[in-house]
Each structure stands twice: as structure tokens, then as C-alpha cells.
């Protein structure tokens, strides 16, 4: 995943201008959205390119926020994220395909102590200099995972036969990086 003909630059993820969000279905009928507020990571990009050559992200699981403290406490518990035992989830890119602006990033997602390959559909969204002279670059990405594949199995069956919490979780990222010196 490296480029030898061009100079490579590292961009640190700017968490204050980035989002890591997820969506699950509640009672089959409603989408409930949440986010993680604390995360770090880097992108390696060849000068002038629209597609990174490497991606690495670490997310603090205890930073989960669904705008409902009771639900967030439940998500942090042993029924779900078990944040005391698994304080972080990570994603490390292993293969990036495409030439931009749309491309895919396949990598290893480690969540709840389980590592599985995940592919994100990604898009280059632009680059520019901020008022302080920092070079910034932006990407969006989406994927879906089955939470049961990561050992997150808690749910309740409804009288209609559906699940209280869906197995499928949609993940959406908006990432802005700042070039490092």
C-alpha cells in the first residue's frame, strides 16, 4: 500500500472537524443514530493524490453518544461494547482500490476483541489550506457490519418476531485530516 514515485504525506485526523457515526434499527421501525466523540488516526497520501495509501483509526468506545444517557450506559455495558474490557476499537487499512474520487478501503476492524475484514465505500471530498496555513484533506466513507460477528449479541425478540436492536449497523465517517510537518 505504498507509492514510490511520489512523496508521501501523513495527515492526522482532526476530530473536531470529523464524525464517526452509526445507525441501528430499533424495534424494526425506527433508525436510532449515534456517534463516537473521541478518536484519533492518520492517513498517508501521496502528494496531489485523491486516494490514501494507508489508513489507521482508533476510537474510544466509552465516547459513544446517542443523546440518551440511559441507552449510552447500556451500550457501554457488558451487553454491548464492554468498554472497561475493550476501551478502543481500531480500523487498519489493508487494501485501497480505485483512483478517486470514489474508491474502496478494505481493512481489519477490531471491535469487542474480534477482528474482521470490512470494506468501506469511500469518496475524496477535497483539500485546501485553512486560514492558519495548514493543509487539510477530507474524505467520506460508509459501510455496514453485522454486530453479531463481533460478539455483540444482546437483543430482545418482540412479540411481532422482530428484534429490539437490529443486527445490521450502518457506519458513516466524515474525516478531515491536517497535514503533519
Once rounded to an integer, what is the mean pLDDT over residues 107-121? Answer: 95
Does residue 140 contact residue 112 with C-beta atoms inside 8 Å? no
What is the helix, strand, coil percentage profile of the chain, to 5?
Answer: 10, 55, 35
Q: What is the distance between the alpha carbons of residues 121 and 37, in angstroms, rounded to a whole number?
A: 22
Phi and psi based region of residue 148 (left: phi greater than 0; alpha: psi -120 to 50; beta: remaining):
alpha
Model confidence, pTM: 0.88
Q: What element of type H or E holds 99?
A: none
According to CATH, the topology of domain 8-179 is: Lipocalin (2.40.128)
Tens digits of per-residue pLDDT, 121-153? 999 999 999 999 999 999 999 999 998 898 877
Q: Please write the tens of the pLDDT for every residue from 154-174.
A: 665 656 665 567 777 899 999
State how far the Cα of 144 lies from the Cα of 120, in Å rounded to an integer.
8
The predicted model gives 17-36 an average pLDDT of 84
What integer is the mean pLDDT of 26-47?
Answer: 87
Tell me the three cell numbers of residue 165. 436492536
Please report, for the chain, the start and end positions of each structural domain, with discontinuous segments joined by +: 8-179
Report whether 50 contacts 100 (CB < 8 A).
Answer: yes
Q: Return the sign of the alpha-carbon dihedral for residues 9, 14, 17, 18.
A: positive
pLDDT digits (tens, 9 = 90+) for 45-91: 998 889 999 999 999 999 999 998 998 998 899 888 899 999 999 99
Q: How confident is the model at residue 3 (pLDDT cuts 50, 70, 90)?
A: very low
Q: Is the dihedral of CA 53, 21, 13, 123 positive or negative?
A: positive
Amino acid at each position: 500500500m505504498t507509492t514510490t514515485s511520489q512523496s508521501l504525506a501523513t495527515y492526522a485526523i482532526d476530530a473536531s472537524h470529523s464524525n464517526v457515526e452509526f445507525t441501528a434499527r430499533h424495534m424494526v421501525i425506527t433508525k436510532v443514530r449515534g456517534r463516537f466523540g473521541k478518536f484519533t488516526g492518520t492517513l498517508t497520501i501521496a502528494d496531489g493524490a485523491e486516494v490514501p495509501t494507508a489508513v489507521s483509526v482508533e476510537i474510544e468506545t466509552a465516547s459513544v453518544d446517542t443523546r440518551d444517557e440511559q441507552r449510552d450506559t447500556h451500550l457501554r455495558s457488558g451487553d454491548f461494547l464492554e468498554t472497561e474490557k475493550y476501551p478502543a476499537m481500531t480500523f487498519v487499512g489493508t487494501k485501497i482500490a480505485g483512483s478517486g474520487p470514489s474508491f474502496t478501503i478494505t481493512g481489519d476492524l477490531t471491535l469487542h476483541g474480534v477482528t474482521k475484514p470490512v470494506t468501506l465505500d469511500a469518496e475524496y471530498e477535497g483539500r485546501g489550506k485553512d486560514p492558519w496555513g495548514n493543509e487539510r484533506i477530507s474524505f467520506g466513507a460508509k459501510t455496514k457490519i453485522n454486530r453479531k460477528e463481533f460478539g455483540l449479541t444482546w437483543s430482545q425478540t418482540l412479540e411481532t418476531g422482530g428484534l429490539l436492536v437490529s443486527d445490521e449497523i450502518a457506519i458513516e465517517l466524515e474525516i478531515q485530516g491536517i497535514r503533519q510537518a
